[in-house]
Amino acid sequence: MAMGTETALQFLYGAMPHDFCSQRGISNYASPLGSPLKYRKKHPKNVQFAENLKRTLKKSLKIYALQRGGNPYFGNTTVGRPYFPVCCCKQSERISDIAGNGKNASWFTEIDHKKMNPYMDEAGIQGVLGLEEIRHLKNDKEDSGMGDVTPRNIPHQEREPSTENEAWRLLKESVVYYCESPVGTIAANDPSDASVLNYDQVFIRDFIPSGIAFLLKGEYEIVRNFILHTLQLQSWEKTIDCHSPGQGLMPASFKVRLVPLDGDDSPMEEVLDPDFGESAIGRVAPVDSGLWWIILLRAYGKCSGDLSVQERIDVQTGIKMILRLCLADGFDMFPTLLVTDGSCMMDRRMGIHGHPLEIQALFYSALLCAREMLAPEDGSADLIRALNNRLIALSFHIREYYWVDMRKLNEIYRYKTEEYSYDAINKFNIYPEQVSPWLVEWMPDKGGYFIGNLQPAHMDFRFFSLGNLWSIVSNLATAKQSHAILDLVEAKWSDLVADMPFKICYPALEGQEWSIITGSDPKNTPWSYHNGGSWPTLIWQLTVACIKMNRPEIAARAVEIAEKRIAKDKWPEYYDTRRARFIGKQARFYQTWSIAGYLAAKQLLANPDAAKMFMIEEDAELVNALNNMFGSSPRRKRSKKSFII
């Protein structure tokens, strides 16, 4: 598509109500708050026209809801099932219209979803595997030499469904509705908690395990709505003290609010209100949101069989906006994405500014997913070239410089410093004194992991779980490295899993280090919250990683441990202490991603094939380019090659 046309479409899709746009295949909605449009400054005339058009159309499409008392606990957020029983919303009708009449209408029907979903099976919905079953399953598979693991092979066994049933009930109660359509899940749903802060919002990253659980259950609508509504929020103009972050940024969270249409006594209108960090604690930019959004979009297509969402022009534009933001040139010397502290799951100061592993693993994953989903067209050739080059450079950089095991530690221990040359071995001028005593003790003989961050003269040797697990899932780690990470998880079980999986990072910052790095954060005291706390939601990423490496028994063991107490403990957000013995001091109860993470793990263990929705085979071009790069002995010589594929 010519650039001019694309620009025009971008401009229009922000401006037009859904009913109007969908007829042109642009399917998007009017910005419910009438927020300024992206291209306003550049095209004043067009925007004026669009604004007038929007106003006229919006009048006829207004969303009305009866003003009710609202939810006593969640203010104006519509959670569970409507607190606002009447909501005549044209927009949601349109979604149903598309669902009912579009070319992929069948994926909304119970009968057809199984046909369309290559990964689902009855057992995927109902089945629960215990550790023993997983062992049988694995042995059977190895004995028979079969590559295919399907739940049909699993011997039937008495099951105790109560924890799972409760989890499903709670997950469903956490669903947030916008104009009567499900659009996400609330972060925490504890009616007895009076101070909800922003836990009454739909967080993008928190919704991922919910989305996966719903996808695996064949409930696709909520995921589709989530993808399309958050896409719409991406294009809003946002400012923090007169400064606008880059276009393409996805919000950290959003909330469904009720606002009066005209005056105080008038009917209420539902609006989606995003938070891009402008009101978040610490004002942190959610860099991970857009990356997760791309990953979920691909998983949705894989699982539902409905590729029409990723093929939509507005969705393609959304993918490109995220990519452009991430691939934009800056001052960087490294291919890793440079971010501030708190830009991902650890959304407050934890000393992870710079090039944290979690962001790099998600970035790599999102690049691969986008590469697969982007429609080939002349206008995006440069973007695809930049993407390919970045993929190669990024995987080389992480695999080579972030990796530590006994051998590498010994190498660092003997590093020479102040090497001024192209061929320096100690490229980042790391002082060997950084190999601290805990690490010398902790590193197992068998196993290894990616460090948390790499900067000039600084290696953050902490083990960050999400980054390491997602490096396995996304292929950022080689097969050998992936196995070594799981070897380390097994060897360090009592540190990383202990009484509740899974430790967010190891070890905790203590003493002066804690005080300087966290800013004396009372929520992040040693072995609590982000600082060495244990987060049940991480079970699902552990499960995907273990299934990928054909070692599901590791995840099954972790799930069994979680199952012993997670429901009794009221599904807390996180646990404290070295061995995760206490419920987190400030942990929310009924935290949705703890519930959904558990459910997703159970479903995946019951139907390991379903984990394929996250797997991407590296194609021959990519593998060749990587081999060339490693083959050129990069640790010794300066590579003069640049690879363009």
Q: Does 576 bind ligand GLC (CB under 6 A)?
A: no
- Say which residue the tokens 């215990």 belong to: 130
In angstroms, rounded to a whole number, what is the distance separating the alpha carbons of residues 108 and 309?
Answer: 14
Total interface residues for ligand GLC by CB under 6 A: 6
Stretch that binds ligand GLC, among 200-208, 458-466, 556-564, 613-621 (CB under 6 A): 200-208
Residue 585, Cβ density class (10 Å: 0-12 exposed, 13-18 middle, ≥19 buried): middle
Taking the least distance from each CB to ligand GLC, the nearer of 175 and 187 is 187
Cβ partners under 8 Å of residue 92, min gap 6: 178, 179, 180, 181
Measured from the CB of residue 283, what is the shortest distance to ligand GLC in angstroms? 13
Taking the least distance from each CB to ligand GLC, the nearer of 164 and 206 is 206
Q: Return the exposure string of 273-295: e unless at least 16 CB atoms fall within 10 Å of the residue's CB, then b.
A: bbbbbbebeeebbbbbbbbbbbb
Measured from the CB of residue 205, what is the shortest distance to ligand GLC in angstroms? 5
Cβ partners under 8 Å of residue 53, min gap 6: 15, 16, 20
β-strands 458-464, 181-185 pairing: unpaired
> 516 forms bridges with which residues in the sheet?
none
Measured from the CB of residue 87, what is the shortest distance to ligand GLC in angstroms? 26
Tokens of 364: 């790599």
Measured from the CB of residue 592, what is the shortest distance to ligand GLC in angstroms? 8
Stretch that binds ligand GLC, among 94-102, 111-119, 134-142, 199-207 (CB under 6 A): 199-207
Taking the least distance from each CB to ligand GLC, the nearer of 39 and 593 is 593
Range 291-350, binding ligand GLC (CB under 6 A): 345, 347
Contact 269, 81 (CB under 8 A): no
Taking the least distance from each CB to ligand GLC, the nearer of 17 and 501 is 501
Q: Does 203 bind ligand GLC (CB under 6 A)?
A: yes
Q: Does 553 bind ligand GLC (CB under 6 A)?
A: no
Taking the least distance from each CB to ligand GLC, the nearer of 365 and 607 is 365
Taking the least distance from each CB to ligand GLC, the nearer of 386 and 562 is 562
Measured from the CB of residue 347, what is the shortest distance to ligand GLC in angstroms? 5
Measured from the CB of residue 289, what is the shortest distance to ligand GLC in angstroms? 10
Taking the least distance from each CB to ligand GLC, the nearer of 38 and 462 is 462
Q: Return the exposure string of 246-262: e unless at least 16 CB atoms fall within 10 Å of the residue's CB, then b.
A: ebbbbbbbbbbbbeeee
Measured from the CB of residue 641, what is the shortest distance to ligand GLC in angstroms? 39
Task: Write out the H or E segment, with its range, that includes residue 275.
Answer: strand 268-275
In angstroms, rounded to a whole number, what is the distance separating the alpha carbons of residues 6 and 12?
Answer: 10
Measured from the CB of residue 576, what is the shortest distance to ligand GLC in angstroms? 14
Range 168-187, binding ligand GLC (CB under 6 A): 187
Taking the least distance from each CB to ligand GLC, the nearer of 530 and 602 is 530
Amino acid at 183: V
Q: Interface mask (CB under 6 A) for ligand GLC, residues 131-170, using x and -?
A: ----------------------------------------
Taking the least distance from each CB to ligand GLC, the nearer of 366 and 435 is 366
Other beta carbons within 10 Å of 13 = 25
Measured from the CB of residue 584, what is the shortest distance to ligand GLC in angstroms? 11
Task: Write out the H or E segment, with its range, that includes residue 259.
Answer: strand 253-260
Taking the least distance from each CB to ligand GLC, the nearer of 174 and 453 is 174
> How many whole angstroms from its chain centre is CA 529?
19
Taking the least distance from each CB to ligand GLC, the nearer of 78 and 537 is 537
Measured from the CB of residue 188, what is the shortest distance to ligand GLC in angstroms? 7
Binding test (CB under 6 A) with ligand GLC, winner from 205, 255, 399, 602: 205
Stretch that binds ligand GLC, among 1-9, 116-124, 198-206, 271-279 (CB under 6 A): 198-206
Q: Interface mask (CB under 6 A) for ligand GLC, residues 229-268, using x and -?
A: ----------------------------------------
Binding test (CB under 6 A) with ligand GLC, winner from 206, 460, 521, 563: 206
Taking the least distance from each CB to ligand GLC, the nearer of 541 and 607 is 541
Instruction: Tell me the backbone φ, ψ of residue 575, rounded to 5 degrees.
Output: -120, 155
Stretch that binds ligand GLC, among 11-19, 118-126, 202-210, 290-298 (CB under 6 A): 202-210
Task: Write out the H or E segment, with its range, that includes residue 413.
Answer: helix 406-413
Q: Output the residue with the shortest Cβ distance to ligand GLC.
A: 187
β-strands 87-88, 403-405 pairing: unpaired
Contact 244, 237 (CB under 8 A): yes
Residues in the chain: 645
SS (H, E, C) 448-513: EEEEEEEECCEEEEEEEHHHHHHHHHHCCCCHHHHHHHHHHHHHCHHHHCCCCCCECEECCCCHHH
Binding site for ligand GLC (CB under 6 A): 187, 203, 205-206, 345, 347
